[in-house]
Structure formats: C-alpha cells, structure tokens
Amino acid sequence: MSLVLTKGKSLNLSKHSRSLNKVRVCLGWKFNTGKKYDLDATAFGLFYVDEKPQVVSEDWVVYYNQDTSPNGAIIHSGDDRCGGDGNSANEIITVTLDKIHFKITEISFVVTIDEALKLGQTFGDVKCFIQLVDDETNEEICRYELDEEFSNEISVQFGSLYKENNEWYFKAIGAGSRKTLADYCVAYGASVA
C-alpha cells in the first residue's frame, strides 16, 4: 500500500520491504500556463565532510548529459522537454541500492528549470510530484505532492534517499531555491553542468 508523505516526513524503505533493492524515483510535472518549461531532474550521490554534503565524484551527478553513474547504480531515463499531465512521470531515475558507492550516504533529487533566469520562469507555474516505485513489483511505495507555492524559485530539492544504520530511507524535502543546476554542482563540489 502506497504512503502519501508530507514535507519533512521520512519512510524507512528497509522496513517497508527487506527485499527492496531497486527503486524508480519518478518525477512528474505539469504547467499551469501555456508557456513551455524545460524541467531537468538530477540525482547527486553525496557524502558528508564536516556536515557539508559533497559528491563522491562527478561520476555521481546523474542528469540529462550524464545519464548513468558508475556500475549503473543510478540511471536517468533522459530529458523530457514537454511536461505532462501532473499524474504520470516525466523523468525517472532508477537507483539500485546495493550498487551505490560505499561512501554515499545520501542521494539528493533536484529539479531545475533550464534557462529559468533568462526566460523569467519559476515553479509558481508548475505542479509537481515525486513518487517511489518498487522496480521489481511495479508497486508505488510512496508519493509526495509539492503543494507549496514557489512563485520565486527556479529549482526544488524534491527529496532524498539516505542511509542510516545500514538502512535506506526516503525523505520528502520540497525545498525551493534560486539555484541553477550549475549552482547545485558547485555547492556539492562538482564542476559538471
């Protein structure tokens, strides 16, 4: 049975299913206006140095220009430039948990609007959700609908998979910002994008 998460809430995936190893992180959106937006989903494989998140290496930034991490642990479905109906996924990031680099304790999922500053676009005109699906059973594990009004934000950290005491959790975050994809890369110690 699927769980609807609210902002800040977490789900212990290991307790949900002991056999769960491969999850699809599905990100979907629709536009509230007639304007075309190009939204981009990115996964960052992170570890912490002095409580500051850093990518293990640039190979662990998975997005439209680098769609696979080492060993195929994280795979991006490809760039969707059209948007959707707000109910089905536009971009999917598949994560195989037992292939994740041993240093990685968090995988952060961020969606940015391409050329948002140039085009004057924000998440105020976008309805979004993130959904976790068990890749083996095709069952939805949990869903988080972003219901905040991001009238000034050009990016949103949707959520994170994180590891604690050798168990994987998913946390609904929903943190909007004015950061571009390049800004996130710099903040996490990568130079890609």
- The pLDDT tens digits of the residues spanning 14-73 come to 887 778 999 999 988 888 777 778 889 999 999 999 999 999 999 999 999 999 999 999
| Distance (Å) of CA 104 to CA 1, 59, 128, 167, 184 | 29, 12, 27, 13, 17
CA–CA distance, 109 with 2 (Å, rounded to integer) = 20
Q: What is the pLDDT of residue 80?
A: 66
Separation in Å, CA 62 to CA 1, 47, 115, 139, 147: 29, 15, 19, 24, 26
Q: For residue 125, what pLDDT is reported?
A: 85
Which residues constitute the domain of residue 127?
3-187
Domain annotation covers residue 16: yes
* pLDDT computed for residue 83 by the predictor: 59
Q: What is the CATH number of the domain that holds 80?
A: 2.60.60.30
Rounded CA-CA distance 156/146 in Å is 10
Q: Please determine, for residue 86, whether its predicted confidence score (pLDDT) is greater than 60.
A: no
Mean pLDDT over the full length of the chain: 89
What integer pLDDT is reported at residue 183 of this predicted model? 93
Total structural domains within the chain: 1
For residue 192, being part of any structural domain is answered with no
Taking the model in full, what pTM does it have? Answer: 0.92
pLDDT band at residue 128 under the 50/70/90 scheme:
confident
Q: Is the pLDDT confidence value at 132 over 80?
A: yes
